[in-house]
Amino acid sequence: MFATEKRVQVVARMYEIRAVLRRLDGDQYRQKLAPWMRLIAGVARERGCNELGAAIHLAKELDARNECSPAAVMRLTAAAAEILEPSEGMVQP
């Protein structure tokens, strides 16, 4: 598989996860995701990396502390997707 194809598949999966959370959270989606977006943006600034790198770092950090639930990974993924390509009505951190 080509690197570009793999990247496209990863981004597509991120958008799928974002769509699932939008359906599950309904009207609360923006409110529930905002703290995760701020966290990712802060880590990206602190570490001097992009938002996706920050989300991966946070997931690894949570995993190292045995606090990495599937829900947390979904929130991190959706938040990173919103930062990279905001959906309608999302405010950047």
Q: Does the residue 89 lie in any domain?
A: no
pLDDT in tens, 57-74: 999 998 899 888 889 999
Q: Does the residue 17 lie in any domain?
A: yes
Q: Does the residue 58 lie in any domain?
A: yes
Q: Does the residue 66 lie in any domain?
A: yes
Structural domain boundaries, residue 58: 3-84
Q: Does the residue 91 lie in any domain?
A: no
Q: What's the pLDDT at 67?
A: 83
Domain count, the chain: 1
pLDDT in tens, 7-51: 888 889 999 999 999 999 999 999 999 999 999 999 999 999 999
Q: Does the residue 48 lie in any domain?
A: yes
Per the CB < 8 A criterion, the answer to whether 10 and 55 are in contact is no
Burial 34-52 (b: 16+ CB within 10 A, else e): eebbebbbebbeeeeeebb
Per the CB < 8 A criterion, the answer to whether 76 and 59 are in contact is yes
